[in-house]
Chains A and B, each alone.
Chain A
């Protein structure tokens, strides 16, 4: 099945929005970063050798029984509270019965009509048309707990997909890792901003979950996955149209693109007088299109019923209040506070956020650097290096403390800005601490009068015309001589001192 060779007809996005009002529904799966699995004590560490983190329970062996991981319940409650949800006083797990090759029991323990958290809301911000920021409220239907499946590896084919594969191998290390599924209520009224609202929502969730410390929120590793429901209706008063569900979209950019695509595809179907089929769809990063998956006609009957192997979950109100009291500052509020403290402009702040440098700058400032200098180093020198190496800024190879140290060397005039770049380069290259790099590379600025004096004399001798101009009162010509001295001293001269010396000698 070489799935996505032909693309469906689409219409122009702006045209589509003239005729149709999009309604969204987002389901985000979050893998929790608990040390052990949802229903057994096996490790959840990512990237271990296949099937080394399994036991009778997560392999679903006959006779094995699940036991709930209290830490996962705690994470679920904290997520619920951070999304302004009500926390159930009493709820149960349910069995979702369906066949899936990676799922050892052939049912998934999930929550159905009794989620642990429900009826919440959050706010997301998208850029408005006139450069301002618009705020959308997204209502949360529920957040519920479930277990992840294992993973299939299809061997022998060209693509790594099941089609054409010779055989399949199963890795159950991920089987039973705790998941939280966060489901929104229908998101209406975003109009042409709908794709951006969706992206901003997932981005906001990612920041929130990271601040809560409950997940690694790495979309590329699948610890945060988004299913996007899209439907179109002729106007904001019309009943909802038929929806499609695009599964497992796993980057922020893809969330926006996939929704945009679905809107244009569905608009074309409706324009042609057709009807949208209720189905799951798959997003293809390479073609930028979605293709049909399972339709409603063949949709499975999950035969939910209360999981008889587990007792109900009844978090005490005291515990819930304790957890509420320890929630971190919401990321959006924190950002506003920090921005005010740092005195950054709107533009500066946006750059810092999109570079993922908020925490790093905060720590650098805490280590003694000024906010502006911290921003400068992280967003220029270090950012460039991280991009080249293809790593996150935080993994570039320099700590906020070291960056602050570099700035202190500049403030103490041990190095100038230009030399400081070389110091950072040295630290990133693993040559040691900033002080060690200065020492090893011999980068310290020379301000010793005799050494500078000799260099200045040499420069004057080599540039008699310039010297005459200065003698004639054209002080601005000193720059050329300073440059010559700097060149001679490989940038390591104290420029102020050099200027002073030149003027004294030619004055």
Chain B
């Protein structure tokens, strides 16, 4: 079975392979789960992808699944496969910190809808993965629990905010992971770790139980090491949820079918003019162009499209997002859950609240709360939040216009490859630039994904290829991703991740 995929063992198998092997009795969910727990034990001291590992519950869950399979039950296509859950989704009974000190010790009494669907699909949850505090950041350096390291080069960032989920995949600690994407937090880490990350159409997956950063932008999605695994996971977590008013009541697009087909002949692929040019690393540009050539060779038509308002996307995003942040994070007031500082009977509730927030929130979170509070305040609302919403509308129109000329739009996922830890920590604006390509999709709510497209020649680090599709056409992402993967895996002589060096312990 999986031994052959990569020559090194269970943990290098794909999720689809593992599920098949568990289903036909070649191995067990317990064995697969244990193998991943062993890998976590071996490498996570270096990587720091996990904030919390629940080995006991995972093995218990795996044993139940094995028992049911042994009893002849037919389970779902990912049954028994382990998964890493970003620590911003509620998982009943497991600590949920959002990478923040302010939620230290909080254990949600309920499951997020995505979590529930994973459990219902008999996927084994290994634990919770590291992230930038409340998903704010592009490097996972803003976590109150220390940065996650990129398995390709542990002196470098794994991307953010879902760096923990992406690193867990690249370090073979889990074959599947869940991320959330507000401005690129699934795609950007996928890009710099050589993995697949998909931001579904806004409303395509439920936000219920995902601790809100910016409600109108957040979207949970699948993270995997290959296109089919991502599609299988997408199929499990997507679909209408009556507990989320913004959830779309429409059938899930045929993502698995698209991932299996990979047929792009006749597809019109639009290269977004505004998402290229200066500021892009040469290796990123080179691999992106090669990606286009591969698609063209398979019969796709490459066209150039213009989205003139994308220039303003970053500015609009950094007003809308912090505005919503300032409101969403108001509930962290030390009164009902998480951290409480200074409650010694000598201080007022307001003072306890202020001390707790001072100690519990990190610098980036405070910065965004302040920006958002300012942008929403009367007298500035029209100039900032109001204008940003207008820009958002213009960006949606840009997309609508571009999708009349092309079936999907493409760009590099990030302007540069993984940068060294600490390099941009003190320069928030430089950090924000890293989400340049991913942000427009969040503002417009359409579907978007990042697929590995090779290593940049200059530094040997992964480059991501971004594909954007109209709302509810998520299947097109997988079609393009599968077409790229088919050619590239042949060219590389195996998955990109087989080229990763062994992680120093």
Contact = CB atoms under 8 A, between A and B. Distances in A.
Interface of B is mostly: loop
B331 A310 contact: no
A67 interface: yes
Interface stretch (B202-210, B250-258, B446-454): B202-210
Interface stretch (A96-104, A176-184, A470-478): A96-104
B88 to A, nearest CB: 8
B212 A63 contact: yes
Interface in B304-334: 323-324, 326-327, 330-333
Interface residues of B, number: 42
Contact of B378 (A56, A60, A61, A301): A301
Nearest to B349: A101
A104 B336 contact: yes
Contact of A56 (B89, B110, B210): B110
Nearest to B214: A308
B327 A305 contact: yes
Contacts of A269: none
A310 B207 CA distance: 12
B298 interface: no
A95 B373 CA distance: 13
B96 A62 contact: yes
B215 A309 contact: yes
B65 interface: no
A303 B376 contact: yes
Interface string A89-128: 0000001010101001111000000000000000000000
A452 to B, nearest CB: 76
A62 B214 CA distance: 13
B282 to A, nearest CB: 39
Contacts of B243: 65, 67
Nearest to A95: B327
A328 B337 CA distance: 47
B176 interface: no
Contacts of A302: 378
Nearest to B203: A311
Nearest to A55: B110
A379 interface: no
Nearest to B244: A65
Interface string B206-229: 011111101110000000000000
B245 A67 contact: yes
Contacts of B90: 62-63
Nearest to B376: A303
A252 interface: no
A59 B336 contact: yes
A295 interface: no
B377 A303 contact: yes
Contacts of A135: none
B210 A309 contact: no
A59 B246 CA distance: 20
A488 interface: no
B72 interface: no
A309 B245 contact: yes
Nearest to B350: A99
Contacts of A308: 214-216, 246, 324
Interface residues of A, number: 28
A55 to B, nearest CB: 8
Contact of B245 (A101, A106, A301, A310): A310
A106 B333 contact: yes
B109 interface: yes
Interface string B23-35: 0000000000000
A317 B246 CA distance: 23
Given A56-B110, A106-B330, A303-B376, A309 B98 contact: no
Given A65-B208, A305-B376, A107 B327 contact: yes
B385 interface: yes
B231 interface: no
B420 interface: no
Contacts of B385: 305
A301 B377 CA distance: 6
Contacts of B471: none
Given A62-B96, A62-B98, A97-B330, A305 B323 contact: yes
Nearest to B333: A106
B108 interface: yes
Contacts of B482: none
A68 interface: yes
A387 interface: no
A104 B331 contact: yes
A62 B378 contact: no
Contacts of A61: 108-110, 337
B245 A65 contact: yes
B237 interface: no
B103 interface: yes
B494 interface: no
B9 interface: no
From A61, A301, A311, residue with most partner B Cβ within 10 Å: A61
A304 B98 CA distance: 26
B462 to A, nearest CB: 31
A461 to B, nearest CB: 87
B93 interface: no
B215 A62 contact: no
Contacts of A95: 327
B245 A62 contact: no
A309 B324 CA distance: 10
B207 A62 contact: no
A64 interface: yes
A63 B108 contact: yes
Contacts of B98: 62
B208 A106 contact: no
Contacts of A99: 330, 333
A213 interface: no
A60 B333 CA distance: 12
Contact of B108 (A62, A101, A310): A62
B242 interface: yes
Contact of B330 (A59, A101, A105): A105
B327 A62 contact: no
A331 interface: no
From A56, A61, A65, A99, residue with most partner B Cβ within 10 Å: A65
A64 B241 CA distance: 13
A311 B445 CA distance: 14
Interface string A42-75: 0000000000000010011111111110000000
Interface in B335-353: 335-337, 349
A104 B331 CA distance: 7
B432 interface: no
A297 to B, nearest CB: 14
B496 interface: no
B119 to A, nearest CB: 16
Contacts of B349: 101
B106 interface: yes
B418 interface: no
Contacts of B198: none
Given A63-B212, A104-B331, A68 B109 contact: no
A311 B246 contact: yes
Given A97-B327, A106-B330, A305-B323, A62 B246 contact: no
B467 to A, nearest CB: 26
A498 to B, nearest CB: 76
A303 B373 contact: yes
A73 to B, nearest CB: 13
B112 interface: yes
A431 B327 CA distance: 60
A305 B376 CA distance: 7
A62 B376 contact: no
18 contacts: A59-B336, A63-B89, A63-B211, A64-B208, A64-B209, A67-B245, A95-B327, A97-B330, A104-B336, A105-B331, A302-B378, A303-B373, A303-B376, A303-B377, A304-B376, A308-B215, A308-B324, A310-B246
Given A61-B108, A65-B244, A309-B215, 6 more contacts: A62-B106, A63-B108, A97-B327, A105-B331, A305-B327, A309-B246
